[in-house]
Structure 1
């Protein structure tokens, strides 16, 4: 009769103890976040996402229901597209209206379909601002309807115009500096404009997402 405690003896295969492999296998199940210290860029991104989430949730009257994740993803997509366009020989997709309409038109159509289907009375009330005289009501309905219809176009044109203007200015300064005597001043100016364009790429992504949230908040 063998010893009862023999089941705890490590077995061997070609003089290799296999029972101790379970110790290594247990380490595989530990999540990656316990092994890695977050970098500074990761900490910065988490703080920025938390800040955006709090602000967007406040604009939605604390009724986010997970929508803030969609708008934060939209903000990151537009910001990276704007930022990557600042590097030489890299295409800027947000400088084209067709790309921006792909982002704004489906969002606007979804909001309109959802609003007019579920909150028809509220959507009609937005066509006539409070306190409007009875004589001006037909004109206000026409004006509000037109302003509502051109919202996706204004979002697309605003983003495209800002991206095109900054890139054109940088390219004009770069081409004029080949035979310029004040080349150092021109280089410093271009660096300052590049920093300005980085700020513009961040601001335009923020404006696009915030205006989309404001259009969402008008539904309910």
Structure 2
């Protein structure tokens, strides 16, 4: 018998209860191009899963891949700034959450100091909270919410696991890929399945997962 191959950092051995056979499986679940969809509602300041399950006004995630770009998505009729952040949730599923416009500018403002610390989003645990704003340009004035971002360093072992996983898998969301997106920043871990991407990498972001 040959020497068993070493497990990758994101793999485990799992025994079949019926046959007793041991198989190597990934810790993380991912159906290529179809991550679990978490959403941020800028009208209510609440997060949800698939537009249904309410998750409150705060989330903490560890990004594994991301892109910041401009595109006309979801039939909104205009090009807007978007940030698409992929992460692995508490059930070890590859997931995604998106933000647009002002929230994207706030996120980019966090990426910049990380770059100067030789870090990227995949090195940190990112806490996202909703902040209420007023729109005084309309009468009566309206309210809306933007996402605010803060971070603490992530566990080094988990960072290695997710980077190794992303390096070996194609991380993207199929229904938001377009050939006309204009990129501002993109991590190496993001895979453009359309093969149209010609985007600059942002400094330290280029060594991300």
Indicate the structure with greater helix content: 1
Query: Which of 1 and 2 has greater Rg?
Result: 1
Whether the TM-score (by the shorter chain) exceeds 0.5 is no
Name the TM-score, length of structure 2 as normaliser. 0.23
Q: Which has the higher contact order (CA 8 A, sep 6+)?
A: 1
Name the TM-score, length of structure 1 as normaliser. 0.22
Indicate the structure with greater strand content: 2
